[in-house]
Structure 1
Amino acid sequence: MESVVEEGFAERIGQRVRRLRNERGLSLSELAHRAGVGKATLSGVEAGTRNATLETLYAIAAQLEVHLAAIVAEPGGPAEPVDIVAGDAVSGTLLETFEDPGWITELYRLRIRPGRVQFSPAHPTGVTEHLTVFSGTARVGPEGAPVTVPPGGHAVWAADVRHIYAAETEEEVQASLVIRYPRPDPPTGPAGPSDV
């Protein structure tokens, strides 16, 4: 299933991935290896000639140690919904990103298609995911211990391990997903005379 995204979306994602990769001093080959994606795939994403799947974007973001919105949304841009490229099982729309002193929080509208399972890579330590199901029944959470979430139900899990999203029945799941990332501590330098 293909997603309809605005013109230039792939190019903007590619520019952000390339900038973040360069800021971290990673070669294209190194990031591709760490993220478990082909070098040609990553090259196409950075060039804006390839629409990455949601799984690929998650894998890249995890290895760059950034939240997904850092790749898919305009930095400091308006809080407008951003359509995300569909994965095999999941399609999502980033509705808003909230930044608080200790946390970055992303809110998504999510659809999980039946008959498929999405495996998402581990996020950095401290990241949690919160799923509320509106229709359908979802199976989500850590790969080794997923939970079933009926309509109206809610699940929370530590997302610093590989985790899954699947529809438990033949009905498509409609849900909201909140991902909370702890903000990294700002670097601290040696105390100067005025700090004593």
Structure 2
Amino acid sequence: MDSTVVEPGGASVGRRLRELREAQGLSLSALARQAGIGKATLSGLEAGTRNPTLETLYAVTAQLGVPLAAVLADKAGPEGGSPPVVRGRAVVATLLEVFEEASVTYELFRLRVLPGPAQTSPAHHDGVTEHITVFAGVLRAGPLDAPLVAGPGEHISWRSDVPHGFAAAGPDEVQASLLIRYPRRPGPS
């Protein structure tokens, strides 16, 4: 499986990353260092010459203090089009909806976790939580030091401001929904 694909709208991801970085007054070097990725990688993402992995996008958006949807193409709307799909080492996530409230943003994803490899996600910013309902397969997910297990019809959740992982806990693909809750960071005073 290609683990470096954002579709559709991959070309606009770099532009959005650059706009967010510049709006916060961060240099390319500073953001790359904070996100734990190479400067050349971030430069390539912003230039549209590299496709980001899900893991890289989460590392960068966590440092920017924004939800993943802030850099993805708009979800499918009444005018048609396909919702954005982001692939990682083990996870295929399709953004279904973004809900905005005054102090929090929610992202709803259709999640597929492929059997075999595990995927590690970097910590999100403080206070972010993830909520998963499993429909098929058995999922092992959550903080790396205390993963949780859920089967069909079960729900798990955790604070995801720590490194966390996802893996199918058996031979079958996991199908689930993922709701990520991002509290808004206070703006500069």
Q: 1:36 to 1:186 in 2, by over 3 A?
A: closer
Q: Compute the RMSD of aligned alpha carbons.
A: 2.0
User: Displacement, 1:84?
Assistant: 2.7
How far apart, CA to CA, are the structure 1 residues paired with 2:35 and 2:153? 34
Computing the radius of gyration from Cα coordinates, the structure with the larger value is 1
User: Displacement, 1:4?
Assistant: 7.3
1:80-138 superposed Cα distances (whole Å, 9 cap, x missing partner): 75323310111100000001122110000001111111111111111110000110000
How far apart, CA to CA, are the structure 2 residues paired with 1:10 and 1:4? 5
- Which residues of structure 2 form unaligned runs of 5+? none
Larger mean CA deviation between 19-28 and 86-95 belongs to 19-28
Q: Which residue of 2 aligns with 1:183?
A: 184
Q: Which residue of 1 aligns with 2:131?
A: 130
How far apart, CA to CA, are the structure 2 residues paired with 1:181 and 1:21? 18
* Same amino acid, percent of matched pairs: 55
Q: Is 2:101 the partner of 1:100?
A: yes
Indicate the SS of the match to 2:172: coil
Q: Which residue of 2 aligns with 1:5?
A: 7
Q: Which residue of 1 aligns with 2:148?
A: 147
CA contact 2:134–2:151 (8 Å) conserved in 1: yes
Larger mean CA deviation between 168-177 and 22-31 belongs to 22-31
How far apart, CA to CA, are the structure 1 residues paired with 2:119 and 2:135? 19
Greater RCO (CA < 8 Å, at least 6 residues apart): 2
Q: 1:97 to 1:81 in 2, by over 3 A?
A: farther
TM-score by length of 2: 0.90
1:23-81 superposed Cα distances (whole Å, 9 cap, x missing partner): 11111111111111122211111011111110010001001111111111349x94875
Q: Which residue of 1 aligns with 2:167?
A: 166
Please list every run of at least 4 consecutive aligned residues from structure 1 whose deviation after the TM superposition is greater than 6 angstroms: none
Within-5 A mapping of 1:80-99: 82-99=83-100
Indicate the SS of the match to 2:171: coil
Q: Which residue of 2 aligns with 1:17?
A: 17
